[in-house]
Structure 1
Amino acid sequence: MTPEEKYEKVKGLQPLELLYQREAQQADTVFLRQMQQRQWRDYTWGEVMDRARRIAGYLRAQYEPGDRIAIHGKNCADWIIVDVGIMLAGMVSVPLYPGQSVSSMTYVLQHSESKLLFCGATDNNAALQEVADMLPSVAIQRCEIRCDQDLETLIKESERFEEKPTFDLDDIFTIMYTSGTTGNPKGVMHSWSSVVFVSPNMIRGYGMDENDRVLSYLPLAHAAERILVEFHCLYSGTPIHFPESLDTFLEDLKRTRPTMFFSVPRLWTKFKEGIDEKIPPSLQEVLLRIPGINTWLRKKVRNGLGLDDAEILVSGASPISIELLRWYHRMGMKVADGYGMTENFIYGCFAPPGEDPVPGTVGKPYHGCEVKISEEGEILFKSGSLMKGYYLEPEKTTEVIRDGYYHTGDSGFIDKDGLVHITGRISETFKTSKGKFIQPSRLEGFFGNETMLAQLCVLGHGMDQPVMLVTISESAEKLPREEVNEHLQKLLTSVNDKLPQHERIKTIFITKEEWTPLNEFLTPTLKIKRKVLEAHYQPLFKQHVDTKGIVWEPRTAVSEGSKEASLEPVN
């Protein structure tokens, strides 16, 4: 069956309509596979619907259609099943990120007026316990906090909801909160029409079916994972696999051998770091030039990552380095950079089927998605996937949706081949004390392929020159500090030689801690909070206002001055 034929088969159907079909016709076919104690625990379509119907029965007995029901936890089969139960009950799901702070989760629960919280695994049990105590709670798979009841008991004791409802396409079925890069999260309201538009068109683009495999591990609270995995697999019939834990992730990835793999730049970078530790980059370059050996190397790398069957490789959620993409392409893995946002349910741009992705671009608009560039250089979207608006914030809605177009806040252009290029966030451009405007993402791109660097962020509002904050990779942490300094200084000099005077990086500051959602330097979707970083490290900047080169943030209270290195000035 061709992708177009698969599209025609599901076009116009609501998710619940498809679920009713699969319940009746494919009850014994496996849909969800959860790794538990190193074995797959399979859930058929029939079991998924039985559990979801009992959850819906419980919800309808306790709450009213339209009530908001929150879900928090790492990806697991129960997450999907609970979400289906909420849909069946006619209620509105409110997903929370596993890495959200207490203040952020509290804001979302209160702002959405959520009535119940389903709790799963998290990296911060104390934070989840604090918010779970605010309202009724139910524990799902791998939950380690105290809840009012557990899901298995709820399912065992609840009556099945036997109805087969469908809903008006304009009805809201979920409120997905943005990651809150610059303030409180905003509640993005999506109606059933968004899914009915997006999911069939995704099948038209990707052509997936029940013979494919997907591993779900990025937060299901993120619109990309929700639409690319949950709803896309629901429409295509593709089985979803869930890893057991972070410790077993790579093994579970290899056991799944997904045919479609979606990840974020940070993981693509870590994959490369792991390869570089085993096969140094200089040796890779030699091997890639030898016929036959290059084929062996590419196969070895793909097999080692568990991606030997992956035909669709996607990076998203934040910008990825052009050089990193080129490395994957040289290794025979055509990773494509996708572009979308919660507000358009991630239905934006991607490499067209049959065409190789072009590093430095995010491909072309999906079917039925219109993209144009405003006179100010801002990227605008228009499609059937646009949100209904921000929950309880009509003023903010009218700020971003004007004349039917969503104003992304990203600057960019469309080239002669129709490929979309993103040049940065309009709001992130800053001015130095010399009156020169700096676009940080452009400068960060020059460092994206450096294996010693794990995270980086260019800052410098009001300074005489830009500076860069970085964390170093695990491999660099094992090296003598002098070796790291020498290497990064050479890199800095090399990059600065390519830049006009006003863009040259004055200082690289190496921070002592990784930036994560838990310390609130990153959003739950792993986007950098530039303003938070800039405010936190202002004392360090002021202390080294005249320093050029490499500066290490003190890592202990003992005589860090002797370890801290400031190298020769950069001309």
Structure 2
Amino acid sequence: MSTFTTPLEAFFYWLDKDPDHIFLRQPIKREFIEYTRRDAFEQALQIAATLHEMGLKKGDHVALLSKNCAHWFMADLAIMLGGFISVPLYPTLDKNSINEILLHSESKAILLGKLDDYSAQKDGIPDIPKIGVELYGIKEAYSWEELIQKQNDFRPIDQNPEDLITIMYTSGTTGNPKGVMHKVKSFNLVTQVGMKALEVKDQSNFFSYLPLSHIAERIGIEMGSMYGGSTVSFPESLETFAEDLANVQPNTFFAVPRIWQKFQEGVLQKIPQKKLDLLLSIPIINNIIKKRIIAKLGLSNASFCGSGAAPLALSLQNWYSKIGIDIQQCYGMTEDCILSHFNLTKTNKFGTVGKPLPGVTSKLSAEGEILIKSDALMVGYYKSKEQTDAMFTKDGFLKTGDLGEFDHDGFLSIVGRIKDQFKTDKGKYVTPSPIELELSKNTDFEHICLVGTGISQPIVLLIPSESGWSKGKDALNASILKSINALNPTLKKHEKIEKAVVMKENWTVDNGLMTPSMKIRRNRIEAIHQPMYLDWFSRKERVVYESES
């Protein structure tokens, strides 16, 4: 792998080496539209030129609202070529959140790509130039397709390692989103360190589906493809996701725990666990079964299978290992540009998030909070010095807000979030994450939130999975109680779960109860349901249904 100083330098290296190499593959009506490196560069250059013609100057902020698609990459490339600072927005945001971020970030223009319901979001965009991609049905005052037909002699702006490259607004499990500022050099450092550590080969085959407005996908897939000269394919829709992934068979695959759980549920629906155990116990047959499952999942060529954003249950890692997939847990956040802790192929310790990557120093505070220092830490939160100062210790370590433990071999485990701890009315603190992780072993559960503020013992709020609901109420109740009864003897007295509440409404990104990276928004769930805790707690039955309240 060559060494670069900026993302544009890396892109130009591969552009010069092989301009006709396929860079982006966008499915439309089950057919791929393919863009070479030259195609992407020429289109992005015209958009950069147009933004300058509109009066934007180097260092101005340009927003990007789109699901993952070829034009997300080309739009971000245009922003870099023009010397602008990107402000990527989650494609699921409502009009109010869009308006809040665009005004706060002082964005001077916005690029609009693939969206599910732009008509519901459009009114959130203030009076700034809008460039829409007609391929995805976005018709605005400025058309991407028309603008790229123009010809001019615009020259790309030089990318300086010390310049800001982006302001990334966090998905926010608590509070309002904050704009995390990163320099070009941070993206450059973490991409090259990460690719080397994970042994990602040049000209790999990538599959991009997690939100590109999230730091993991932005670094791992977008930057990874630019630095490694790789090809990126996209899913067409949620309905075609499994088929698209199986067709692409990428060389690396990263998912959040919920997706790994979904994959497991899909396998077990076709091959129940008892039958799977039997097949895996038979020599020769077991290898055939493993290869067939891995191919169906789309992971036959994946040398790296990662998981992050939330803790992955040890039981789930062990289950995948038995079918031939060793998932490597990783840990990072927007504020540290995910230059933090990774499990690597040769040092992969299940149940942990690995050791510090090269250039990372980590330690625990007196309270057990994980503290991180590297050359890729954020510059700060945009227009918020007070919040920025609160994120750092006096000696320059970033406060992650996560509670951790190091084992004797130096592997880090995440114990929970400091802000997630709650106090029962007995005055005892409970850290919910480890308990929720144990409960997540049960594939009948989709989402889990342990709560207990204002009551004497914790209760667990549950969203059953499809397999859970399909069992019927009596069997589901038995499954819930079996998990609770098995777990309670291992817990301290004040942690023992008194009962479960089955929620009537799913927790989704659309209703604001999940982040785009599939973490529950605990504070919002609590704000809605806390008034009912005492009533649920006082019921005679141990499994309460919210719909029957």
- Range class of TM-score, shorter chain: over 0.9
Alpha-carbon distance, 1:146 to partner: 4.7
SS in structure 1 at match of 2:537: coil
Alpha-carbon distance, 1:525 to partner: 2.3
Q: Is the 8 A contact 1:370 1:383 kept in 2?
A: yes
Q: Which moved more, 1:211-220 or 1:545-554?
A: 545-554
Q: Is the 8 A contact 1:125 1:144 kept in 2?
A: no
Query: Counterpart in 2 of 1:491?
Result: 483
Q: Deviations over 1:174-229 (max 9, x none)?
A: 00011122211110000111022111112211232344211001110000000000
Q: Is the 8 A contact 1:522 1:528 kept in 2?
A: yes
Query: Counterpart in 1 of 2:319?
Result: 327
Distance 1:246 1:335, change over 3 A: same
Q: Deviations over 1:232-283 (max 9, x none)?
A: 1110112111111111111110111011001111111111111111111222
Q: How many residues align?
A: 546
Aligned-partner residue type, residue 397 of structure 1: T
Q: Is the 8 A contact 1:197 1:385 kept in 2?
A: yes
Q: Deviations over 1:540-571 (max 9, x none)?
A: 323323135111121xxxxx47xxxxxxxxxx
Alpha-carbon distance, 1:133 to partner: 5.7
Q: Deviations over 1:121-166 (max 9, x none)?
A: 3344343222236533221265445522221112123635234x32
Aligned-partner residue type, residue 302 of structure 1: I
Residue 456 (structure 1) aligned with residue 448 (structure 2): yes
Query: Counterpart in 2 of 1:318?
Result: 310
Matches of residues 40-119 of structure 1 in structure 2 within 5 Å?
40-62=32-54, 63-119=56-112
Q: Deviations over 1:309-330 (max 9, x none)?
A: 1110011122222211221112
Q: Is the 8 A contact 1:329 1:335 kept in 2?
A: yes
Query: Counterpart in 1 of 2:387?
Result: 396
Q: Is the 8 A contact 1:458 1:466 kept in 2?
A: yes
Q: Is the 8 A contact 1:53 1:160 kept in 2?
A: no
Q: Is the 8 A contact 1:454 1:472 kept in 2?
A: yes
Q: Which moved more, 1:261-270 or 1:522-531?
A: 522-531
Q: Is the 8 A contact 1:17 1:166 kept in 2?
A: no
Query: Counterpart in 2 of 1:375?
Result: 366
Task: Tell me how far apart the structure 2 counterparts of residues 287 and 249 of structure 1 sit (CA, whole Å).
Answer: 27
Q: Deviations over 1:43-72 (max 9, x none)?
A: 111111111110110011111111111111
Aligned-partner residue type, residue 350 of structure 1: F
Residue 234 (structure 1) aligned with residue 226 (structure 2): yes
SS in structure 1 at match of 2:526: helix
Residue 545 (structure 1) aligned with residue 541 (structure 2): no
Query: Counterpart in 2 of 1:434?
Result: 426
TM-score (norm 2): 0.96
Query: Counterpart in 1 of 2:346?
Result: 354
Query: Counterpart in 2 of 1:122?
Result: 115
Residue 149 (structure 1) aligned with residue 142 (structure 2): yes
Task: Tell me how far apart the structure 2 counterparts of residues 143 and 38 of structure 1 sit (CA, whole Å).
Answer: 14
| CA RMSD in angstroms, aligned pairs only | 1.7
Query: Counterpart in 1 of 2:505?
Result: 513
Alpha-carbon distance, 1:18 to partner: 2.0
SS in structure 2 at match of 1:465: coil
Task: Tell me how far apart the structure 1 counterparts of residues 161 and 218 of structure 2 sit (CA, whole Å).
Answer: 18
Alpha-carbon distance, 1:450 to partner: 0.7
Q: Which moved more, 1:235-244 or 1:284-293?
A: 284-293
Choose which of 208, 225, 229 in structure 2 pairs with 1:216.
208
Distance 1:218 1:160, change over 3 A: farther
SS in structure 1 at match of 2:32: strand
Aligned-partner residue type, residue 498 of structure 1: T
Q: Is the 8 A contact 2:403 2:416 kept in 1?
A: yes
Moved segments of 4+, more than 4 Å: none
Query: Counterpart in 2 of 1:568?
Result: none
Matches of residues 235-254 of structure 1 in structure 2 within 5 Å?
235-254=227-246
Q: Which moved more, 1:34-43 or 1:177-186?
A: 34-43
Choose which of 498, 517, 524 in structure 2 pairs with 1:532.
524
Q: Is the 8 A contact 2:328 2:344 kept in 1?
A: no
Query: Counterpart in 1 of 2:415?
Result: 423
Distance 1:141 1:552, change over 3 A: farther
Matches of residues 216-295 of structure 1 in structure 2 within 5 Å?
216-295=208-287
Aligned-partner residue type, residue 102 of structure 1: K
Q: Is the 8 A contact 1:101 1:517 kept in 2?
A: no
Task: Tell me how far apart the structure 1 counterparts of residues 485 and 135 of structure 2 sit (CA, whole Å).
Answer: 49
Task: Tell me how far apart the structure 1 counterparts of residues 119 and 462 of structure 2 sit (CA, whole Å).
Answer: 29
TM-score (norm 1): 0.92
Matches of residues 126-145 of structure 1 in structure 2 within 5 Å?
126-132=119-125, 134-140=127-133, 143-145=136-138
Aligned-partner residue type, residue 68 of structure 1: H
SS in structure 2 at match of 1:115: strand
Task: Tell me how far apart the structure 2 counterparts of residues 154 and 176 of structure 1 sit (CA, whole Å).
Answer: 27
Query: Counterpart in 2 of 1:569?
Result: none
% same residue: 39
Aligned-partner residue type, residue 354 of structure 1: K
Unaligned stretches of 5+ residues in structure 1: 1-5, 555-559, 562-571
Distance 1:416 1:46, change over 3 A: same
Distance 1:234 1:134, change over 3 A: same
